[in-house]
Amino acid sequence: MTILPVIPISPDQPDILPSGLTKTRRRPSMPPRHLADMDLAARKSAVTSLGEPAFRAKQLSTHYFGRLVRDAAEMTDLPAGSRDRLTADLLPTLLTPVREQACDDGATRKTLWRLHDGALVESVLMGYPDRVTACVSSQAGCGMACPFCATGQQGLTRNLSVAEIVDQVVYLAGVAASGAVTGSPPRLSRVVFMGMGEPLANYPRVIETVRRLTAPAPEGLGLSQRHITVSTVGLVPAMRRLIAEQLSVTLALSLHAPDDDLRDELVPVNQRWKVAEVLDAAFDYAAQTGRRVSIEYALIRDVNDQPWRADLLGRLLRGKLAHVNLIPLNPTPGSKWDASPKPVEREFVRRLQEAGVSTTVRDTRGREIDGACGQLAAGELTDASAGGAAADAEVAQ
């Protein structure tokens, strides 16, 4: 595992730590406008409003989306005066790396970012022999309060802007292009909205991000919609809005239990939209798009891994355009939740497959670098609030 150093920050609101010392934080607020917030027409308008010719919009867009350049100093085809003015107004710094870690011989790389207001988010780059995937956050924190999820335990700080989401992808695409992801192609080809936050709770910005990522360069990154996955805990009205978008993204439903009694506890939003209603919306999405729905199911020891629950899930999904992605739980520190034993996991898979349901077990990546979403941020918050003088010096020197 490789751990890179913490980047100093300059926050601006005092908090009192248990040690009696102080650290500071900022009030949550949306960031300044950025090139990635706008389509190409809006970029041209923004450029001309700064007194520059409209073609500068395409130059900036080519650097950012085509060449994956985020540093103004590298945009040497722009006149120095214009470059400084344009980048200051249209390419402000949105993400500052706090910590970066790598494992799996460099094939998995996780970054903890500090946003302009001090909020923390995470993104992960995962390399495979045939593809490179970025897992990105759509919110700082999460308001869904799932008790086994590190992010859910933090609560919601705020939604991310379109550009804050896109900038995660552009950065990770640049890492892939540098050849830093061992044994993988040098081009990012897939994006999954499975980092921090509930994507459909930030619906307009997530949909706009999808359109930006899939627009041809230089307006966007030129990714395939079919290579983008949007996850949800089951916000049914937003799922039905997604059907009407006529996109070809994969929908991933974080189900985690096939019965309402348990899902009410594991996924509290189930108290509003029950399993049957959530699955109906997912199946309607599959019928409209022809895209198989991914049913995400974190296996938790002695909680949701009983054979009868596997059988019930099999009955619910039999004959449907759906695939079950079983996830060995990555426990958070101090949590009462733990991963199911391998024999239990294998029996769960066997029963689903016997019911005719396509099932796989997710590749476990990044356990030694707090790979589950929210764990790195939770660790940073814990260090800052309970680590005394040493942690305080590290976080806010």
Tell me the CA distances in angstroms from 79 to 73, 83, 175, 210, one per residue in order. 11, 6, 27, 32
Is 184 labeled as ligand-binding? no
User: Rounded to an integer, what distance in angstroms lies between the CA atom of residue 278 and that of residue 305?
Assistant: 21
Report whether 63 belongs to an annotated binding site: no
360: left (phi over 0), alpha (psi -120 to 50) or beta: beta
Active site residue 122: yes
- The reply, when asked if residue 135 is annotated as ligand binding, is no
Q: Does residue 218 have a cis bond before it (omega within 30 degrees)?
A: yes
Q: Is 330 annotated as a binding residue?
A: yes
Is residue 159 marked as binding? no
Indicate which residue of 164, 208, 219, 373 is catalytic: 373
Annotated ligand binding at 266? The verdict is no
End-to-end CA distance of the chain: 25
- Cα separation, 226 vs 249, in Å, equals 5
What is the token pair recorded at 350? 């066997």
Strands 120-128 and 131-135, bridge-based pairing: antiparallel
Considering 100, 122, 164, 296, which one is annotated as catalytic? 122
Q: Is 277 annotated as a binding residue?
A: no
* Rounded Cα distance, 121 and 136, in Å: 9
**231 known member of a binding site:** yes
- Known catalytic residue at 373: yes
Which residues carry a binding-site annotation for [4Fe-4S] cluster? 142, 146, 149
Which residues carry a binding-site annotation for S-adenosyl-L-methionine? 197-198, 231, 254-256, 330
Q: Which residues are catalytic?
A: 122, 373
Which residues carry a binding-site annotation? 142, 146, 149, 197-198, 231, 254-256, 330
